[in-house]
Structure 1
Amino acid sequence: MRITRVRTHRVVLPLRETFVTALRRTDVVETLIVEVETDDGVIGLGEASQVWQVTGESMDGARACIEGPLSAVVIGRDPEDLQAVLRDVRGAVVGNTSAKAAVDVALHDLLARSRGLPLFRMLGGAVAAVETDVTLSVGDPDHLAASASARVSEGFRTLKVKVAADERQALRGIMAVRDAVGPDIAVRLDANQAWTDKQAIRVIGDLEDAGAGVEFVEQPVLARDVSALERVTRAVHTPVMADEAVFGIADLVEIIHRRAVDMINVKLAKCAGIAVATTLLDLARECGLGTIVGSMMESPVGVAASASVAAAHGTTAVSDLDAAWWIRGVSAALGYEAGSVVVSARPGLGIESIEELERVG
C-alpha cells in the first residue's frame, strides 16, 4: 500500500448561533479538509482549522503547505510506516501546526480504515463516548444564565464560560451562571488571554471570595507571558490552565520546569497532530499536571480525531470537545448524547467522504 495522492477541500459549515470569545466572533466553521489516498483506494481525512488568533494560519497558507512540502514527504510512502512518515511531516516545515495536524490525522484515519478499526480503538481506546463540556459565548449575565440553563437541560454537566476583558462583567456573568445552574454543575472559565496578571488575580480572588466554585481558569493572560501565568498560579487557589501557551513539547517542558500552571489543554491543531498530542498528555500526567483534550471551532473530522485521542488516553478532567455541537446539522459519524461526544464505530473517523461532511451544514 502506497500513498498516491493528497487533496484539499475548503468547507464552510454554518453555526447554530454566533460564537463569541475574547479573541473573535464567528457564525461559521471555515476549515480545510485534507484527503490522503492510497493506490488501493483507501482514503483518510484530516482537518486544518483556520483560527488566525491562535495558530496564525490561513486557509490559503495551510493549503499551500499541505499540497506542497507535506505532500512531497508522504506521496510514495507506506502508511503502515506511520511513525517514520509522521516524523518527516513534522520536520518538513517550521510552524504550520494545523496543516501538519491535518496530514497526521488523515494518515491515522487511513491506517485505521485499512485495518477495519475505529480510530479510537486503533489508538487503544475501548469506549466511544467521551464526556465534554459545552461553551457559553461571551455575553451579558442574563444571556449567560439563560444559555447555561438550556445547556444543562440538554444533558451537559460541565459549562465553559467565555469571558472578555471587562472584570466586572466577567464576575457578574460567572455568578449569574452559578445562580442559574446551582452547585452541582461544574463551571469553568476561559479568558482567552484577555487579562493582565493583576486583573486575573483580582477576578479569580473575587470569585473565590464569592464562593463561585470555579473548577479552573483557562489561559487568563497572554500566551507568550509564561512569567505572568506563573504569578497568577502562585497567587490564587483556583487551578490555572494553559491553552494557547502550550503548542508543543518545548512549551510544556518550560511550563513544567517553572510550575507555571496546574493544567494544560491539548489541541491537535496546536501541537501538529495525534502523535505529539499523546506525548503531551503522557508527559503532563507523569509530571503531575491535569489534562484535557480540546478542540478549535472544527468540523466533525477534527472533533472525532480529538475525541478518539481522549477516549484512548484519558484525561484528568472533562474534555472540551463541543465544537461540532455548534454546527447547524447532524453528522452520522459524530453525535452528542447526555453531555458526551460519541464517535462512530465505523472504521477510522467514521466519516465516509467530503460529501457526507458537507451535508452536515
Structure 2
Amino acid sequence: MNLTLDRLSALAAIRSIRCGTAPGVQSGLASLRRTGIAAPELPEGRKRWSASCIDLSALGLARDTRGSHPIEIAVPSEHDRIRSKTFSSILHTAPLPKGAFIDAGQDFRIASPELVFVEMGAVMQPEVQALLGYELTGSFSRNPSDPRGGTVAYGIPPATSVEKIERFLSQCEGNAGVTQSRQVIGYVANNAWSPAEAVIAALMALPLEYLGYGMGRLVLNDRQIAADELARSGARGSRVPDILVPGTCVGINYDSFYHLDLDSVIEAACACALAPNDKTLAAALENARRSVRDKVLDDLRRNRELAAQGLVVLPATSEDLYRKGGFDELMLEVFRTIELLSGKDMAESRRALASHAVCERRQTLIWSLLAWEQGRSYAREQVERERRGILRIKNPQIIEVDMVI
C-alpha cells in the first residue's frame, strides 16, 4: 500500500512525529527522506478502499483523530483519486518544489511542513496560520488529536524554519494558499518556545488589518551573553528574553499561570496543618516556599542583568491574555517604553488601540487562540464573522479552527 497524507492529515502526522507518539518513526522528522507523491495502492487482498484499509497507528494516529472528517491524501493524477467517503483526494495541478513530501515509512508519505503551511493559506485565517508558522518553526508541538487542549511537547527540534518556508514559497507559483502564505510568513519568527509565547508574538507582529499591533517580525529567544564584568561579579553567563522588538531596547518575558509553583506551597502548608509536629512535612513546606522564592529572585536578577546590558524586558502574564483589555494595556506600556527609551515613533502601532470596536474584536480573537475550553466558542464566533464578512472579505471555506489550534 502507498498513501500520501496531505493538509490537516499530514499536519496531524507531523505533530505526532514531533511529539514522539509515532511508533513507526523513531528517528525524528529531520531524518526522513524528502520525496514526491506516491500513487495510492490498495493493500494486498483488498478490492476497494474503505476505512478498514488504513492503519494509521504507525504514525501515532487513531482513525478518529479528526472525527468524521475524511483522511486527506495527495494523488498524482485525476485517475488516482480514491472513490470513498473515507478519503478526500487532493490533486496538485500546479508544480510543487522538489521534495515537497516526506517518506514516513510503513508505506506512508506526508506533506512536508513547508507544503502544509502553504496549503493552510487557502483555508485558514491569517492569525491562525501565523500561529501554525510559529509552531512549525519553533521548539514545541501541539497535540495531534487535541491541538487546543492536549498535552504540548516542549524542547523539540523545529520542523522547519522561516527561511525554508520562504524558499519553498518562491517555487510555488500558482498553488492555492501561496498569496496569503507569502504575507503571513513575514510576521513569523523562528524559535518560539510555547503556544502562549507564539500568540503574543503573532499579535504583536501582525498588521492592524489582522487585528495585530503592526510591529512586524520580532526576535524570539535570542540568548544574550553577559558582559565579562557582569559574569565576574556573579551574574548568570547568559539570559534568554522571550521576545525582543528589533531596532529597540525593549522586550517581553511571558510568565504563565504555572511560572511560580504556588500550589506546592499550599499543599505542603495544608499537610503541616494536619500534622504540625511532623518535621518531615515542615521541611517539605520550607523547601516549597524556598523554591518559589528562589524563582522570584531569579526573575528579578534576570531583569536586572538584562537592563545592565541595555535591554528593558517587561513581564507579560497569563492574566494579560485572559483578562478583558489586559493585552491592550500591556501593549500601550510597551509602546510608551519604546518611545521613551528607544526614540522610535509608535504612532502606527498606537492606531491599534484607537477604536473601542476594534479592541473588542481583538479581545475575542485573543480568547479564540488560547488553550482553554471557552476558546472553542470564541473561535467559532471568529470563523462566523469571517464567513459573514464582518471583519474582512475572506475565503468562505475556512476550516474549523479547533482542528489547528
Higher relative contact order (CA 8 A, sep 6+): 1
Which has the higher Rg, Structure 1 or Structure 2? 2
What TM-score does the superposition give when structure 2 sets the normalisation length?
Answer: 0.25
- Higher relative strand content: 1
| TM-score (norm: length of structure 1) | 0.28
